[in-house]
Chain A
Amino acid sequence: MSLTLQLILTVSSILFAIGLLAALSRRHAIFILIGIEIMLAAANLNFVAFWRFSPEPRDPTGIMFAIFAIAIAAAEAAVGLALVIAIYRHYRTTDVDRLNQLKG
């Protein structure tokens, strides 16, 4: 099996799906964050794939994009963690099923 664009895209979509599944079905807040990170990674993989199989792979555009995305993902994970800690400090739980004060 040769390395084609379709193969890498398939992998990245499966990765995305796994991340989505994690985000949607876990009760613990941290696990949802992990799911979001996985989705981000999948998106990054998409970027790299399209860069690798582009006509001019010598431009560092794709790599730059991916590195930025990783940096932002890291910042966003930090913020998410801070949010979870703040929520925990207030509600004494990390079970998102119990955080339903926005219920109408």
Chain B
Amino acid sequence: MTNWIENYLWVIPAMPLLVSLMILGLARKRRAPAAILAIIGQVAALVLAVAALITTLHAPGFRAFHNFTWLTFGDQALRLGWLLDPLTASMLVMITFVGLWIFVFSTGYMAEDRNFSRFFAYLSFFSAAMLGVVISNSLLLLFISWELVGLASYLLIGFWIERPSAAAAAKKAFVTTRIGDLAFFLGILWLYGSSGSLLLYDNGNGCLDKTTLVTLGSAVTSIALLIFCGAIGKSGQFPLHVWLPDAMEGPTPVSALIHAATMVAAGVFLVARMYPLFSYHAVSGVTPALTAVVWIGVITALMAALIAIAQFDIKRILAYSTVSQLGLMMVSLGVGGVVAGMIHLLAHGFFKALLFLGAGSLIHACHHEQDIRKMRGLRRAMPITFLTYSVGMLSLSGVPLLFSGAWTKEAILDATAHWPESSLPHYLMLFGVVLTAFYMTRQVIYVFFGKRAGAAEHAHENRANMTVPLIVLAVCTIGLSAILTPAWPWLNDYLAGKTPHWDSSELFQPLLLVSLALVAGGIGAGVLIYRGATDVDPLQRSQPTLFAFLANRMWLDEFYGWTVIGLARAASRISDWMDRHVWDGLVRLVGGLGQLMGLVSRQMDERGINAGVDEGVVGARGFAGLMSRRHSGQVQSYLGAIAVGMVALLIVYVWLA
């Protein structure tokens, strides 16, 4: 059993991929088969993922890998492989489980859409690519899957092809992540060049094995930073975060799957996976690469949380919330809390997907209205959505004891408190906790409390295929806390490769009280300010300039428009001018030369050669005429000529004798 799953780990991504192709090929017109196929594929992947998880439980610090040669050229070979360890297994289970419930939700949400089957094909394709990212043992295979994930994201964000805004958002997402991916690829190339291997673990010869890391020398920091650029793009860190909020143009299940639970997690996953590279030669846990990770994470987390306070689109609030949480995860990884970051990633996957699906449920019920000021007082009309959404919100805000988000956030704050470089991230992240609780409270009050009006008037709870996933995810969010508490940190120890043990005295930490106070403060502030709020946001009324600054996303998109995009446009205009006038002119010049030569050649031919030949012919004719006129036709003159000739010959003969 052990060896079986290790050798066949590739089947896990292969199945959704196969399903995707099958749907595209066979089930384009038929909706039920497409959905059923997709769900079966996901279930199969889930079963195998659970089997993989069970395999990793055999021993603490389990790691099994299987490498094979893909291409050989000369005496070098490109090798790929897959890897099974706690990190992989936990990600596999999270992705397949959350994905499965999102698939089920989509059957309800996309029921009226014409392109139902195409949606499921793309979802399966995305699932396959994401699973490929987490199992790969080779940076090359990881990069291939990474790019496929980007492609799937593009296809899904721009799913409603008739909408120009969706197409623009898909393009923006792809191009922005591409910038990060370029740096990532450069890092991969550099790593390959210095170390000669792209495999991560290879019995001592892989990139992350100690012996190879030594050979890299001082290039480790640069390579790590380049690889981090890929994570910046994919996980929406500052400065490449601009695509994530626009990506909300896609259908809500897409936002739930890709931009909350999985794809954006890929960046965090990458840093966690490459952590030995990042932390090489660490001086008490601090390296330049990791410091960069921390500060970018801090900036991202704070900036996004501030912007989220001033947004009115329900999905945008959640999008900025995701960006902020990802920043928090990066901070955690940077300060050395790899395990803390990963468990927050896993828990975040569950409750963020829950929140997005809840938002989807609300949007669907309000006939695709997305402004929170227009969806009010829904808590009695949609009780299941209200309850599950509240569970997600409380988990995200970090309300302790029952909700997994709290425990994971605790772990992160604990890690930041012990960073030797600076304690600024710790305090800033504490501030971030307050902000998170504040904006989530604001959102919940707007949507669920107050008087019903407008689009919310006729809203009612959705059918089972949309509420059941919400319930399941809510239960998981609460249930995960069982294995996350400091009393029995099963998940933490599992990921760290340690044996978990039960110790009830660990349950109450001093930090717990601090964060409890902050969360209560945040929620309380939110309730105070927004209780009885109307269409005009109270904060907007009291601080209009600050609010406008945040509502306009700190004018960053516009800034990029003036600078980077403006530069690109100017360059393209210059290129166009060059092309049209310079290169085109040259080509036309050459063409003109050709024509000129043709002209000259023709004149030479007509005036020179033809004339010459004509003259020659005239001359020959003249001479011939001359000669022919000598013939008189008189026989006697011919005879006379013969006689004269004979006489001449005679004279010559006589003289010669």
Q: Using a CB–CB distance below 8 Å, which chain A residues touch chain B?
A: 20, 23-25, 32, 96-97, 99-104
Known: A104-B628, A104-B629. A23 touches B634 (CB 8 A): no
Contact of B643 among A20, A32, A96 (CB under 8 A): A20
In chain B, what residue has the closest Cβ to A17? B643
- Which 3 residue pairs of A and B lie closest in terms of their CB atoms, listed nearest first? A100-B633, A103-B633, A104-B631
Which residues of chain B have C-beta atoms less than 8 A from A101's C-beta? 633
**In the docked arrangement, what's the CA distance between A103 and B629, Å?**
7
Interface positions of B from 607 to 637, Cβ below 8 Å from A: 627-636
The answer to whether B639 has its CB under 8 Å from any CB of chain A is yes
**In the docked arrangement, what's the CA distance between A103 and B637, Å?**
12
**In the docked arrangement, what's the CA distance between A99 and B634, Å?**
7
Which residues of chain A have C-beta atoms less than 8 A from B632's C-beta? 100, 103
User: Are B643 and A102 touching (Cβ within 8 A)?
Assistant: no
For this complex, 29 residue pairs linking A to B, each with C-beta atoms less than 8 Å apart, are A20-B643, A23-B636, A23-B639, A24-B636, A24-B639, A24-B640, A24-B643, A25-B636, A32-B636, A96-B634, A96-B635, A96-B636, A99-B633, A99-B634, A99-B635, A100-B632, A100-B633, A100-B634, A101-B633, A102-B631, A103-B631, A103-B632, A103-B633, A104-B627, A104-B628, A104-B629, A104-B630, A104-B631, A104-B633
**In the docked arrangement, what's the CA distance between A23 and B635, Å?**
10
User: Are A102 and B639 touching (Cβ within 8 A)?
Assistant: no
A14 smallest CB distance to B (angstroms): 15
A41 smallest CB distance to B (angstroms): 17
User: Are A102 and B633 touching (Cβ within 8 A)?
Assistant: yes
Which residues of chain A have C-beta atoms less than 8 A from B639's C-beta? 23-24
**In the docked arrangement, what's the CA distance between A23 and B628, Å?**
25
B634 smallest CB distance to A (angstroms): 6
**In the docked arrangement, what's the CA distance between A96 and B632, Å?**
12
B642 smallest CB distance to A (angstroms): 10
**In the docked arrangement, what's the CA distance between A24 and B646, Å?**
14
Which residues of chain A have C-beta atoms less than 8 A from B631's C-beta? 102-104
Interface positions of B from 415 to 448, Cβ below 8 Å from A: none
**In the docked arrangement, what's the CA distance between A99 and B638, Å?**
13
**In the docked arrangement, what's the CA distance between A103 and B627, Å?**
11
Which label, helix, strand, loop or mixed, suits the secondary structure of the B interface?
Answer: helix
Which residues of chain B have C-beta atoms less than 8 A from A32's C-beta? 636
Contact with A along B308-346 (1 / 0, CB 8 A): 000000000000000000000000000000000000000
B235 smallest CB distance to A (angstroms): 106
In chain A, what residue has the closest Cβ to B640? A24
**In the docked arrangement, what's the CA distance between A100 and B628, Å?**
13
Which residues of chain B have C-beta atoms less than 8 A from A23's C-beta? 636, 639
Which residues of chain A have C-beta atoms less than 8 A from B635's C-beta? 96, 99
A16 smallest CB distance to B (angstroms): 10
B641 smallest CB distance to A (angstroms): 10
Interface positions of B from 580 to 632, Cβ below 8 Å from A: 627-632
In chain A, what residue has the closest Cβ to B628? A104
Which residues of chain A have C-beta atoms less than 8 A from B634's C-beta? 96-97, 99-100
B77 smallest CB distance to A (angstroms): 93
B643 smallest CB distance to A (angstroms): 6
Which residues of chain B have C-beta atoms less than 8 A from A100's C-beta? 632-634
In chain A, what residue has the closest Cβ to B635? A96
Which residues of chain A have C-beta atoms less than 8 A from B640's C-beta? 24
A30 smallest CB distance to B (angstroms): 14
In chain B, what residue has the closest Cβ to A97? B634
A9 smallest CB distance to B (angstroms): 13
Which residues of chain B have C-beta atoms less than 8 A from A99's C-beta? 633-635
Given contacts A97-B634, A103-B633, 17 further A-B contacts (CB under 8 A): A20-B643, A23-B636, A23-B639, A24-B639, A24-B640, A24-B643, A25-B636, A32-B636, A99-B635, A100-B632, A100-B633, A100-B634, A101-B633, A102-B633, A103-B631, A103-B632, A104-B631
**In the docked arrangement, what's the CA distance between A6 and B168, Å?**
129
Which residues of chain A have C-beta atoms less than 8 A from B628's C-beta? 104
**In the docked arrangement, what's the CA distance between A63 and B627, Å?**
46
B629 smallest CB distance to A (angstroms): 6
B346 smallest CB distance to A (angstroms): 117
Interface positions of B from 200 to 255, Cβ below 8 Å from A: none
Which residues of chain B have C-beta atoms less than 8 A from A97's C-beta? 634
**In the docked arrangement, what's the CA distance between A99 and B637, Å?**
12
Which residues of chain A have C-beta atoms less than 8 A from B633's C-beta? 99-104
B598 smallest CB distance to A (angstroms): 45
B574 smallest CB distance to A (angstroms): 80
Which residues of chain B have C-beta atoms less than 8 A from A20's C-beta? 643
**In the docked arrangement, what's the CA distance between A90 and B635, Å?**
17
Which residues of chain A have C-beta atoms less than 8 A from B636's C-beta? 23-25, 32, 96
Scoring B630, B635, B640 by chain A CB atoms within 10 A of each residue's CB, the highest score goes to B635
In chain B, what residue has the closest Cβ to A29? B635
**In the docked arrangement, what's the CA distance between A52 and B427, Å?**
159
Interface positions of B from 542 to 582, Cβ below 8 Å from A: none
**In the docked arrangement, what's the CA distance between A20 and B632, Å?**
20
Which residues of chain B have C-beta atoms less than 8 A from A102's C-beta? 631, 633
B388 smallest CB distance to A (angstroms): 122
**In the docked arrangement, what's the CA distance between A1 and B334, Å?**
155
B195 smallest CB distance to A (angstroms): 101
**In the docked arrangement, what's the CA distance between A24 and B635, Å?**
9
B473 smallest CB distance to A (angstroms): 118
Which residues of chain B have C-beta atoms less than 8 A from A25's C-beta? 636
A35 smallest CB distance to B (angstroms): 9
Which residues of chain B have C-beta atoms less than 8 A from A24's C-beta? 636, 639-640, 643
**In the docked arrangement, what's the CA distance between A20 and B636, Å?**
10
